[in-house]
Amino acid sequence: MSIVIVVGTRPEIIKMAPVIKELEKRGAEFIFIHTGQHYDYEMSKIFVEELALPQPNESFALENTNPAAQIGEMMIKLEKALESYRSRKPRIMLIQGDTNSMLAAGLTALKLGMRIGHVEAGLRSYDWRMPEEHNRRMIDHVSHYLFAPTELAKKNLIEEHVWGEIFVTGNTVIDAIDMYFDKVKEVEARVMEQIRFDEYALVTFHRAENVDNPQTLRDFVRILKKSPIPIVFPIHPRTRKRLQEFGLWNEVENIQHLQILPPQGYFEFLALMKNCKVIMTDSGGLQEEATHPKIRKPVLVLRTSTERPEAVIHGFARVVGTNPVVVLAELEKILSENPKLPEQSPFGDGKAAIRIADITMSRLET
């Protein structure tokens, strides 16, 4: 009996890395499949090498950008790939998160009679505009083993009457930072040399519901222009494209207190987080990473909802939307308050991968 591990985007690779390392350590047999959503494929392939993970047994990029076609293409390619491993009796598929490729992987496993283990189960934003919300709910309802990062995530799953087994494991993102933090220290001096400012806010902005909306993107540019603190902005390809399409790129390029960076590697990005004053983002994963004891940074969530309410409850994050007046007022408040943040992360103790590996291995023979 063997385990199948499917990853696609960079966050999935980061969050699955501790599980892969743990299974390797135990000599477990697994089939490692790397797939990718178009432009992210090459970038995420580099991440596999950077995190010193084994070479994937199978690797393919998805050609389609239309969500429905992408899910269909992924299911066809994945079924074909798994067909060649039938002799290894793939029994459990581990998937992470809530992208289209993870939903496709889960549905494929289900149709092939495999059991599904969902890492990071039970996250809910209750915001139906987010494609990820549709995906994560569907994945949770077809999963056999639900690895909830927190008690709150477990509560969501119980309330929805999922039929799989629920385990609270912590979030593997905390394990990953523990595991790779020495690498961050190696690149830190080089990363910080290129930053023009002594103090800065680290900003990321890339979600479809934000950057595909011209008004929201204009509001975002106003926030950048009026920020009371210099900004370092590693820019996502999608965001750059939309700023150019909506005629906002020149405006952004001319902001004196803004430094635009290309997309960063994992270690480089953590170094930027560790040294910033505050984070402004619409990313989900950053809300978790900011709570790690070695980072501990306040976060303004540039969205109207979050599927990581634990970060808000414990004082790390504030959901502020994208209205410039509100965001700038909250930014001023954080800069003047210098909030005291908890010493521990609400997302776990760095042992999530051990728990996930224990459960997966124990279920493999049953």
Contact present, 16 and 7 (Cβ < 8 Å): yes
Question: How far is residue 294 CA from its own chain's centroid?
Answer: 18
Catalytic member of 34, 118, 206, 292: 206
Which tokens in the block code for residue 156? 């969501």
- Cβ neighbourhood burial of 331 (10 Å; 0-12, 13-18, 19+): buried
Instruction: State the Cα torsion 338-340-341-343 to the nearest 10°.
Output: 140
**Dist. CA 193–CA 191, nearest whole Å:** 6
**Dist. CA 329–CA 131, nearest whole Å:** 30
H-state helical runs in the chain: 10-25, 40-50, 67-83, 100-111, 131-142, 151-159, 172-193, 208-211, 214-226, 237-245, 249-253, 266-275, 285-289, 309-313, 324-337, 352-364
Q: Is 206 annotated as catalytic?
A: yes
Contacts of 171 (CB under 8 A, 6+ apart): 15, 120, 149, 150, 288, 347, 348, 352
Which tokens in the block code for residue 320? 């502020």
Instruction: State the Cα torsion 253-206-72-85 to the nearest 10°.
Output: 100
Just list the catalytic residues.
Answer: 206
